[in-house]
Structure formats: C-alpha cells, structure tokens
A and B are shown apart, each in its own frame.
Chain A
Amino acid sequence: MNMRLQVKISLLLIICSVLLANNSNAQITSSPYSIFGMGNIEENSLGGNKGMGGTGIALMSGNSINFLNPASYSGLDTLVSVFELGVFGKYTSFKNYDSNQKLFDADFKYLAMGFKIKPKLATSFGITSYSTVGYKINIPTTIEGTSVIYNKIYSGEGGVNQAYLGTSYRISKNLSLGINAVYLFGNVTHSESSTDLDYSLKSITYLSNFNLNYGLNYQFGKKSWKYNIGLIYNNGKTLATDNVSTITALSVTETIKSQTTSFKIPRTYGIGLAAQKDYFKIGADYELKQWKDIDFSNPLVENRNSHRYSFGIEFPSPGENKGTYRMIFYRFGAEYNESNLIVNKIPINYRSISFGAGIPVQGYLSVINLALELGQNGSGKNGLFQERFCTLHIDVSLKEEWFKKRKYY
C-alpha cells in the first residue's frame, strides 16, 4: 500500500476509535419513541442514498456502498476499494400539548468497506445500526408522605448493531445476486434513577443472533435509458436475549429477578425501481416489515406492519464540470414511513424530504456525501408528541485504486 492510503486508513481508524470510545453503548438517539421494543428502527440507507430520501433498493453501488441491497456490491467500480464512514447531527424539536423542547445529538452512524474481488464478484463488510434507543426524561416526583420533590430520571440507551459481511455476484450481464451475513448484537438499557436520592433501577437486555439478507438486481433497457428492478428479503429472526436487572441504592448494587422479553427482527420484503441515463438517476422503493405479529408486551403499544415508501433523484452539476472528476452530484428525495408503532391508538408515521450533494474532494478519489433531511415523526394527538427534525448526514468515502497502482511501480 502506498503512503497516502496508509494515512487515510490511520485517519479513519483514529476517527472511528474516538467515536466508538465516546460512546461505547452503540449509537445514541434522542427520541422518547425509542423507549418501545428495540428502539427506533434505522433504515439501511447509507451515503448517497440518504440524499435521495433513503432510496436505493434498485440502485447499484458505484463509487459508494449501497447497503440497502446486497446485490448492488457487484456494481462497485472496478479495481477500487471503498472505505466509508458516516456521522450525523440531528436537531429535533419535540412538541406536545403544552410544551416545546429541543435537543441536539450527533453520533457515528456507520463504517463500511467494499471492493471487487473479481470483475463479477464483490464484497462489502462493515458495521451499522439496526435500531437505537436513546431518551432521558426528567420527572419531578414527590416523596410520598412529604412535600419534598426530587428529580426522577427515566433513561434508555443502546440498541442493536449489525456487523455484516456481504457478497454479490453478477450472474449474467443483467442479473446480480447478493447476500449479507449479518451478526446482530447489542444491548438495550432502560433505567429509572435519581441522583438526588442516589438510587437507580436498571434493566440491561443483551441481544444477539445471526441473520441473512438477500438481494437481487435486474437491469434491462436500451442504449440510453437503463432500468433496474431490485428485490430484497430477509426472513426475520428471534434474537437471543439475556436480561440483567440491578437495583443500586447508596452505591450498593444488587442483582434482582428480571423478566426476559423476546426481541424479534421482522421478516422484510422490499422492491425498488430505478431508471438512469448518463449521470442522471431516478428511483423509488417500497419496503415492508412484518411487525404485526411481534408483541412488545407493552399495553401502550400495538404493532402493525411497517411500510416505507421513498423516491429520489440524482443529477450531476450542469456545465463544464459534467463528466470530469470535479462533477458534483445533486440529490433530492422524499420518504414516508408508516412505522411499526401504534402508540395510544395513534399510528406513528415518519415523513421527510432530503437534499443531498456528493462533493468530490482531493482529486477524484474521494467523495463527501452530504444530506440534509427535514421531516417530522409522530403526532401530538392523544397525549403524544410530534418531532420535527433536521438531520445533517455527513458520509465520507475514501477510495483507493489498489491494483492499478501496482502497475506504476
């Protein structure tokens, strides 16, 4: 490996270790809706997909990894290895019937690498999150029998991570198949505590299991316009769980009996359509997750099947940069997600629009994908609250020509 690649890898590793060390309990999020089940379900869209409303089931990986469909890896640029790192910053305004509160959080989102093994065979591996739990709710509570009020803190953190190793093979000129072997792992902690009174009741659930994601991409069309159909599927899985509950009072911790709730990954189907001509792309996705039969054993929540609809377009900067290494890609998209949650009889739906740009930096080997997502989630009805958010996704792609370089020495 040459010097520059080494520098890049070290830089990447430093950034990752700092981010992971900051936050050993997987990713954080700030949403009281993440209190239920495994938390907020994160979509698999990375990098450039984010700017297109999370669309990409039918899109092939090009100069960045498309994790939505494992069949896409075979589209990675030949003889190029891709490192990707994603972070985000999210500003959310929470509004219920009587107040409006705001939070900002920022965190590491994913790390992935992909490259071609052979012209028709490609691989990708990395780590990203399947779900995240993050909330901290402060409730002034009275000591029974007195008028003394103390601050009781309900908090949750953790989530389920997915470490994956995927491969994709181009069977024919038109058809690619792919599969991800996914190791799901993580922990979800819910606690009730008071720093004033020095106690905490904590329940940590450790989760893990293997799962497989399947993908297919079929391309057809004439010379100028090309069309793609993408299909994804995973069979769902029950995660192995282990719960540890502890009570800590006056700095003495004691393990108490705990109930183990089962956590399940729902069976998932997805279909995507895309059309492209030159550097212009347009796509749409539909994804179904069969949550309906999964019980969170929470009287407030009823699960339903989740439906995600999205579409997005990508077009290059016009003018003389078009076709050169300095070409900027602009993206636009929208997403509507009927999530699995029905809380207090109110369905929790997510909608957002996004604007993105893929900006080449430092020559033509690296790209920064920026996406600004504006949207809302939930509803202020029935004692619930609505979240309005603005998320900035920053995904850095570092590319290196591994094999090509060798020829120059």
Chain B
Amino acid sequence: MRVICNGNSEKNISLLKKSSIFLFIIVVIIFFIGSCTKSNNFSIGENFLDSQTGVKLLDTFRVGLSTVILDSLKTSGTGIALVGKYSDSIFGSISSKSYFEFAYPTDKFNETDVFDSANFILCYSKYYYGDTTSLMTLNIHQLTKQITLDENTGYRYNTDSMVLASVLATKVFHPRPKSADTIVTVPINSFGEQIFNLIKNNDEVVSTSDLFFEYMKGFAITGETGTGNSVIGFKADEKHIFMNIYYHAPSNDIVAKTYKISFYNNVASSSSNSSYQFNHIHYNISKTAFSNIKGTGNILPSSVTDNRAFLQGLIGLLPKIQFPTLQNLIFENHWKILKAELVIAPVLPSFAYFKLPGKLYLWETDKENQMNSQLVDSRSEAIVSTLYIDDLYNEDTRYTFDITSYINKEASDLFYNSDNGLLVSLNTTDLISTFTRMAIEDKNPVVKLRLYYLTY
C-alpha cells in the first residue's frame, strides 16, 4: 500500500477523533432508544384507521336444559363400599348395599386350638352422604349365590342386585366417619365359629378355593333397617375389610391368637378395575320433580321439572345442555366465534345442606343421551369448570365452561343435529363412587351461552 507519510502521531490523533465520533453516535442512539414509547402503547394515527373488525357479545342465545338419567353406572372396583340410605324431597330416596367376597384362607388351625370370638372389621373411607348424627343399623348378610361379572363388560353396575340370605350379624351405632374412629367392629361369633371349625377339621368345603367360594358365596353389607338417614363409605380392599377369628391354644400360658380372612380383590378380567366388589344403588324418585323421567326416554326438559335440571352421582342423573338454534349461526357470513362460554348457576337451596361439586366436566352426547366422549380443549385437556362462589351476595355463584372448540366444531358442520348436546358431569371417579348432587337453575338466572364473536 502506498502511504503518503505525514507522521504517525498525527494519524493517531485523527484515529482517536474518529473513534470518539463513533462512540458519541452510539451513546446518542442508545439514549434515543431508551426514551421511546413502547410499541405496544403507540396510538398516534387513530383517525387514519378504518376499522373492519368488531367483537361483540351475544348472550341471548337460546340454550336448552334438561335432565337425563343414565341406564346404569359401573360400580365394581371403585374401592369404596357404600352402605345406608337417605331421602329428601328434591332428589328422592336412595339406598346403597355393598357386595364383596372373602379370599380363600390357606392357614390352618391346630387340632387343639380353641375358638374365642369373631369380628367383622370395616374401615371408614371418610366419605359420607347425609345426616351422620342419626343412629345406623348395619347388617351383614351372606349371599345365596356367588358374585359373577357381566359376561360382556366384566363389570357390575349400580342397578345390579342379588338375593340375600338371612342376617349374619348386626350392629347399631353412631357412625363417626369424620372423627378419629377408623373402624367399625361387628361381632359375628356364630358364623366365625362355624368357619373356625371347618378349617380346623379340614372340611371338604375348605379343601380347595373353588369349594370355599361355593360355600362362602359372598357378603352384602346393608344399612336399610332402622332410622338412619345417611350413607357411609368404607374402604373396600384387602387391607380394610376382613374377618378376625380370635382363638387360643390350650396351655399353661394362654396366648390369644388372631386368624384373618381378608376381602378378595379378585381381578377376573384384564381390566384392573374389575372386582367382585360393587355397590347396588336403589333409588325412589316418585316424589321428585323428575319422577317420570324413565317414562319419557330417560330425558325431561327443565320446563317440566320446575325450571331446573338435576345432577347426582351413582344414580346417573345428569343435566343436558342443547343449542337448538346453533344451526342459524352456521349460515352467518363474516362471523367467527372467538369464545363461547357456558355459564350455569346452581339452585341455591341445593347446597344449603350438601356441598356443591368443586369441579364439573362436560361430555358430548346425542339423542341416545349417553356420555359419548369427554369434552377437551385444543390441547386435548379436559374442559373443567371450577365453582365460583359469590361469598358477598350469594347471587352470582356459578360454573363457567369455555366451550369454544365444541361450538366451533359443531358450527363447522353444515348440518347441526339439535339432539346433540353436552352432559354436565362430575369427574368420572366421583360419578361412580359418590352421591354428589346439584340442581341447576334455568329461570333466574337461565343457563347462558355467551358468544364472543368477530365480525369482519
């Protein structure tokens, strides 16, 4: 490179000058950037704009409300034995029996062992329904037949009942499912001694498990007699339902011994929830607003049920929501539904005594009124609504569901079948293991569909 040399010092000074100029420019730019309006706040130029979109709320859309009753609910293998009865004027009367079997005992007694006593042991699950302050009469029956499962499904249902033999043992007591009491002990001495002798004598009926099951059949726990007005839940598994036979061997030092026969959690089919334990629910709705629901195809519109719809677990009562005029939306041009919210309000007296469900879920249904598929959002997560309680005025207690994806899916079909709809339900576990109940208001306020829609 050809350099016309004027001396290095001068060159350095000019370089220094140049770099200070650049440094100065950078500082100035940074200062300017720092003082800028955030681009999300910039609003000048408003009057140049010609708005072509608008978002509106439509909340006068007609929503149909009715109550459906499911034919049956699977109650086998829920891990809870429900015993007792309850009645009131809104939901009628319900009662529950629980069925189960004992496992084949393999331990033996010595010939010299002496029977002392026997107890049936039940453990509270802490679930209860109704008024637990009243006295409860608990009966243990033997069954006349072995428990079998449905050949097709491998389950037992809330509607299944079996013939009971006479009462083996009875206990009258004050249930304390909430307190520190964890077990209920039912003396069953004569039956216990019978079993003791069969095992001790190596009777044929205890020689194989098949013969044992045939002999023992199964048991039912009922709570129907007496004046009780509650249903109590007991844990139904190997560790929490059993019979203790107390005995001793004759010797100088008497040592009390316990022989345990446990609950049989037989897994008869490949389904892990399958079990011979199940609850039979009997209900009488003849004095309720929905008394003739069975006679009308298992569905009743709210207009004939005091402008209410009803939900109760284990019975299979579910409110059904329909959108009879959704068809009209399908033919609207330049419309997009941005958000669809379903708002339902519980009838206030319906939770004066019973707790409202904390969360509710939705299931798609059609004219068969079955729970077809659970409603999920765009990320395939179940759509759920958490109870909002208006503590201040008690007027705005409600459940709100975001059913945008459902409404848009239904509206995207050219033909909308107005028999389709949504069933409001508990979570699947509570639906088949609790009597959780709720009535939905359909007059003041009505069930609302809030449509936020875009016009363009």
Contact = CB atoms under 8 A, between A and B. Distances in A.
B167 interface: no
Nearest to B34: A104
B12 interface: no
Given A91-B32, A102-B35, A104-B32, A136 B42 contact: yes
B307 to A, nearest CB: 25
Contacts of A320: 6
A138 B408 contact: no
Contact of A143 (B18, B44, B47, B452): B452
A204 interface: no
Interface string B16-48: 001000000100010011011101111111111
A197 interface: yes
A91 B6 CA distance: 40
B369 interface: no
A392 B25 contact: yes
Given A102-B36, A249-B454, A250-B408, A143 B55 contact: yes
Contacts of A152: 51, 53
A103 interface: yes
Nearest to B333: A256
A164 interface: no
Nearest to A382: B47
B40 A138 contact: yes
A350 interface: no
B29 to A, nearest CB: 6
Given A89-B29, A101-B37, A192 B52 contact: yes
Contacts, number: 130
Given A247-B336, A363-B1, A343 B36 contact: no
Interface stretch (B56-64, B194-202, B224-232): B56-64
Given A103-B39, A250-B408, A143 B56 contact: yes
A150 B54 CA distance: 11
A103 B339 CA distance: 34
Main secondary structure of the interface of A (DSSP, over half): strand
Question: What is the interface residue range for chain A against chain B?
Answer: 35 or more
A375 B28 CA distance: 17
Contacts of A151: 40
A6 interface: no
A148 B40 CA distance: 18
B191 interface: no
B220 to A, nearest CB: 53
Contacts of A148: 57
Given A32-B48, A325-B4, A145 B58 contact: yes
A35 B323 CA distance: 43
Contacts of B14: 326
Contacts of B336: 199, 247, 249-250
A201 B378 CA distance: 22
27 contacts: A32-B44, A35-B48, A89-B29, A91-B32, A101-B44, A103-B39, A103-B42, A104-B33, A137-B45, A143-B57, A144-B56, A144-B57, A145-B58, A150-B55, A154-B45, A197-B55, A199-B336, A249-B336, A249-B337, A249-B454, A251-B378, A298-B50, A300-B48, A363-B1, A383-B47, A384-B47, A385-B44
- By Cβ-Cβ distance, the 6 closest A-B pairs, closest first, are A32-B45, A249-B336, A145-B57, A144-B56, A91-B32, A101-B37
Interface of A: 32-33, 35-36, 89, 91, 94, 96, 99, 101-104, 135-139, 141, 143-146, 148, 150-152, 154, 192, 194, 197-199, 201, 247, 249-251, 256, 298, 300, 320, 324-326, 343-344, 359, 361, 363, 370, 383-385, 390, 392
Given A36-B48, A144-B56, A201-B53, 14 more contacts: A33-B48, A35-B48, A101-B41, A102-B37, A138-B42, A144-B55, A192-B52, A199-B336, A300-B48, A324-B4, A325-B4, A326-B6, A383-B47, A390-B32
